[in-house]
């Protein structure tokens, strides 16, 4: 298990020196400044890797998260040949600079979605939360998506109405800011009107259509990745269900099996995200880790606690609904299998995915979920768990 850490680049408030202090050795990074669909130039990749490999830190850039898939590839609109060629060129440039694990997602429009970024937990720390009532309130009473009433149980729809009536402008603003935080290019926020216009692009677009576009994307890029020795790994949908009427196609074991079968190659792999999958069927996550182990190239380890109405809240890494020990055991077994087969890249990079804001995090700006202390706590716990299991 290679201890890794997502670092957002020079604009990240957390420095590489601080990352080194956590004990992590692998960096998960992206050239966030390059617009979606454009080529990542080789020189920019080399410069970023050199920065990460600063003397004395013991860090290296191991994983790209994400090489984003342009929206047009997801909608399948227009002539996509330039976008596919650009994606392949970025992969070639990454491989030329020695980076071989590339994570991406195929969620339409939104990336991960939460309704609350700072819910108080024990001792005044804060956590991220997805609240079904507030999400329904947003869809029904801000976005005006009347069809959303069918996506939620009647009790949730009623509770959403009550919430919407009582909410003042500040509560709406906070909700909007939370929901938009996961949007791609998350530095610029969409307004409600812009979101409505973007959603219109997906009207009448179903899972089958999105699956066909993913299969097309894989057919275009997996052969190139194979030649380059790159292992692509798709990230599951978060939350693992349709929201805003947008289809989701990487939300369950069956979905993942379908994606992996669409291009049956080690170059077409999975990012095992225990938090995303755990917000669906947490009890299944260890079995999914074992089932897809040979195709897992990267792991996001975090935990959630679900609630009967579909809400969930991010818990400490070893405290939620997912049996983290069982997941880590499956990953260690896979590493041993790879090592026995003589693979030099047997170790699987994982990162503590998200963390609460604790202690000094509370006074510091960081990307939602990407605090220093909270993730460091998670990393330390996962490190101990992995060492204990490997020794046992
Ligand atoms: C959230 C992350 C996701 C992930 C992308 C991968 O914290 O796990 O934003 O990076 O979905 O493409």
| Residue 292's pLDDT band (cuts 50, 70, 90) | very high
Q: Which atom of ligand 1 is nearest to the CA of 6?
A: 10
266 DSSP assignment: T
The strand order across the sheet containing 303-306 reads 116-120, 126-130, 312-315, 303-306
- Cβ–Cβ contacts within 10 Å for residue 361, how many? 22
pLDDT of 185 higher than 50 = no
| Residue 184's pLDDT band (cuts 50, 70, 90) | low
Taking the C-alpha atoms of residue 178 and residue 114, their distance in angstroms, rounded to an integer, is 6
Residue 354 among the catalytic residues: yes
Q: Check whether the bond before 5 is cis (ω within 30° of 0).
A: no
CA proximity to 184, closest of 195, 193, 170: 195
Q: Could you report the per-residue pLDDT of 238-261, keeping only the tens digit for each?
A: 999 888 999 999 999 999 999 999
- What is the average pLDDT across 93-106? 98
- pLDDT at residue number 171: 94
Is the shortest distance between the CB of 68 and ligand 1 below 6 Å? Answer: no
Q: Is 11 exposed, middle or buried (0-12, 13-18, 19+ CB in 10 A)?
A: exposed
Of 273, 297, 321, 356, which residue is the catalytic one? 273
| Residue 118's pLDDT band (cuts 50, 70, 90) | very high
Q: Which of 112, 259, 269, 278 to mutate to test the pocket of ligand 1 (most atoms within 8 A of CB)?
A: 112
The beta strand positions in 7-68, using DSSP E, are 26-29, 60-65
Q: Which atom of ligand 1 is nearest to the CA of 235?
A: 6
Is the shortest distance between the CB of 40 and ligand 1 below 6 Å? Answer: no
CA proximity to 379, closest of 349, 348, 347, 351: 351
Q: Could you report the per-residue pLDDT of 217-238, keeping only the tens digit for each?
A: 999 999 999 999 999 999 999 9
Q: Which of 5, 235, 270, 317 to mutate to test the pocket of ligand 1 (most atoms within 8 A of CB)?
A: 235
Taking the C-alpha atoms of residue 22 and residue 357, their distance in angstroms, rounded to an integer, is 16
Of the two residues 243 and 216, the one the predictor is more confident about is: 216
Residue 104 among the catalytic residues: no
Q: What rounded mean pLDDT belongs to the chain?
A: 95
Residue 353 among the catalytic residues: yes
- pLDDT at residue number 183: 60
Q: What is the CA radius of gyration of the chain?
A: 20
Do residues 288 and 339 make contact, with C-beta atoms less than 8 angstroms apart? no
Rounded to the nearest 10°, the torsion over CA 337, 340, 342, 343 is 20
| Residue 177's pLDDT band (cuts 50, 70, 90) | confident
Taking the C-alpha atoms of residue 273 and residue 331, their distance in angstroms, rounded to an integer, is 12
Residue 233 among the catalytic residues: no
Structural domains in the chain, sorted by start: 2-112+205-391 (3.20.20.150), 116-200 (no CATH)
- What is the average pLDDT across 379-390? 98
Which residues, listed in sequence order, are joined to residue 4 by a DSSP beta bridge? Answer: 26
Which residues, listed in sequence order, are joined to residue 268 by a DSSP beta bridge? Answer: 232
Of the two residues 282 and 195, the one the predictor is more confident about is: 282
């Amino acid at each position: 298990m290679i201890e890794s850490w997502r670092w957002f680049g020079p604009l990240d408030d957390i420095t590489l020196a601080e990352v080194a202090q956590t004990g992590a050795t692998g960096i998960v990074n992206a050239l966030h400044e390059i617009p979606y669909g454009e080529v990542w130039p080789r020189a920019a990749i080399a410069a970023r890797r050199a920065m990460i490999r600063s003397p004395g830190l013991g860090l290296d850039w191991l994983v790209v998260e994400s090489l984003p898939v342009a929206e047009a590839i997801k909608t399948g609109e227009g002539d996509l040949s330039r976008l596919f060629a650009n994606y392949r060129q970025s992969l070639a440039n990454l491989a030329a600079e020695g980076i071989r694990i590339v994570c991406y997602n195929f969620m339409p429009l939104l990336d991960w979605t939460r309704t609350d970024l700072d819910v108080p937990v024990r001792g005044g720390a804060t956590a991220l939360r997805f609240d079904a009532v507030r999400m329904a309130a947003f869809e029904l009473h801000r976005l005006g998506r009347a069809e959303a009433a069918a996506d939620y149980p009647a009790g949730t729809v009623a509770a959403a109405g009550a919430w919407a009536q009582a909410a003042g402008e500040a509560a709406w603003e906070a909700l909007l800011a939370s929901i938009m935080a996961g949007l791609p290019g998350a530095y610029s926020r969409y307004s409600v009107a812009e979101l409505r216009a973007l959603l219109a692009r997906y009207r009448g677009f179903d899972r089958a259509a999105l699956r066909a576009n993913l299969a097309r994307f894989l057919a275009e890029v997996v052969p190139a990745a194979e030649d380059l020795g790159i292992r692509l790994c798709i990230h599951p949908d978060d939350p693992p269900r349709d929201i805003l009427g947008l289809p989701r196609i990487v939300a369950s074991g069956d979905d993942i099996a379908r994606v992996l079968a669409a291009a049956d190659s080690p170059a077409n792999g999975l990012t095992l995200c225990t938090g995303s999958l755990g917000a669906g069927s947490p009890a299944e996550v260890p079995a999914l880790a074992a089932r897809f182990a040979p195709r897992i190239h990267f792991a996001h380890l975090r935990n959630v606690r679900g609630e009967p109405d579909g809400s969930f809240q991010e818990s400490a890494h070893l405290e939620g609904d997912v049996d983290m020990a069982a997941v880590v055991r499956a990953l260690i077994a896979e590493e041993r299998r790879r090592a026995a087969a003589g693979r030099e890249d047997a170790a699987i990079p994982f990162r503590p995915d998200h963390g609460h804001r604790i202690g000094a995090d509370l006074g510091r700006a960081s990307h939602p979920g990407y605090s220093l202390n909270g993730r460091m706590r998670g990393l330390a716990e996962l490190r101990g768990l992995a060492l204990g299991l490997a020794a046992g």
